[in-house]
Amino acid sequence: MARLTILRYPDPRLHTVARSVAAVDDRIRRLADDMLETMYAAEGVGLAATQVDVHERLIVMDTSDTRDHPIVLINPEITWRSDEMKVVEEGCLSVPTIYDKVERHASVKVQALGRDGETFEMHAEGLAAVCVQHEMDHLRGKVFVEYLSALKRDRIRTKMIKKTRDEQRDA
Strand partners, 125: 107
Residue 146 Cβ vs Ni ion, minimum distance, rounded to whole Å: 11
Q: Of these residues, 121, 135, 146, 167, which one is catalytic?
A: 135
| Active site annotation includes 89 | no
Q: How far is CA 49 from CA 2, 28, 32, in A?
A: 14, 10, 8
Shorter beta-carbon distance to Ni ion: residue 47 or 122 = 47
**Secondary structure (3-state) at 28:** helix
| Nearest residue to Ni ion, scored by beta-carbon proximity | 92
Instruction: Tell me whether strands 119-125 and 107-113 are parallel, antiparallel or unpaired.
Output: antiparallel
Rounded Cα–Cα distance for residues 161 and 86 (Å): 31
Residue 47 Cβ vs Ni ion, minimum distance, rounded to whole Å: 7
**Can you tell me which of 7, 36, 74, 92 binds Ni ion, judged by CB under 5 A?**
92
What are the residues binding Ni ion (CB under 5 A)? Answer: 92
Which residues are tagged catalytic? Answer: 135
